[in-house]
Amino acid sequence: MDEHKNSNKFLKHKIGIIGGTFDPIHYGHLFIAETALDKLNLDKIIFIPAGIPPHKNQSLITDSFKRVDMVKLATKKNSNFEVSTIEVNKQKTSYTIDTIKELKKYYNNKVDIFFITGDDAFINIETWKKYDELLNSTNFIVMTRSINNSKLLNEKIELYKTKYNANVTKVEIPILEISSTDVRERIKKNNSIKYLLPEEVEKYILENKLYMEQGL
């Protein structure tokens, strides 16, 4: 791996971006990131916890810096994973197009950015702010389950490639039935969350008494 990277030292670095509320982060998020890193030969993955996500009720979301803490704990053992607070520092609604623009400015367009998303989100990308500009200016990695390799997803990808010159790579992943919603519900019911997320995150949740009284 190191020899391969050295032989391509004059090529742009490839950076994967994975955003979300991560409330809390779990092994499903980490597996998606690792799969994208491996399949696309990315140099690193940056996790970006959302500050104020546009499609969720802010009153039901855990404090942003606690979510950042959990992501840092979950990723600290992987040297290819980094965490950015670019969105939580804004204290305003987070939009993907704005974050991508800021990252491109920060890196002075010296890296190739790949935005990692799920198939459901990608199918509904037309609800995103300036989605047409985003599709035209950003590489996409769409993670999809084999059984959900739908005709609609394929049609959307072909449409966006034709209409917006989008660069979209579809990556199939195994089914991992883990969700943040389920983790929160299990905690609320005092059920075990062991093996659903890293031990350090589980310990942080218990020490800070997260999700025990709040709703889904």
- Which SS3 state, helix, strand or coil, does residue 144 take? strand
Nearest to 107 by CA among 25, 177, 14, 6: 14
What span, in angstroms and rounded, lies between the C-alpha atoms of 103 and 78?
A: 21
Express each pLDDT in 88-118 by its tens digit.
Answer: 998 788 899 999 999 999 999 899 999 999 9
Average pLDDT over residues 118-135: 95
Express each pLDDT in 147-159 by its tens digit.
Answer: 555 889 999 999 9
Please name the residues in contact with 107: beta carbons below 8 A apart, sequence gap of 6 or more: 15, 113
Residue 142: pLDDT over 90 = yes
Domains detected in the chain: 12-177 (3.40.50.620)
Identify the weakest region by mean pLDDT among 8-17, 129-138, 194-203: 8-17
How far CA 210 is from CA of 19, 58, 71, 214, in Å, comes to 21, 16, 14, 8
Residue 15: pLDDT over 80 = yes
Express each pLDDT in 31-83 by its tens digit.
Answer: 999 999 999 999 999 999 998 877 666 667 899 999 999 999 999 999 999 99
Q: Tell whether omega for the bond before 24 is within 30 degrees of 0, i.e. cis.
A: yes
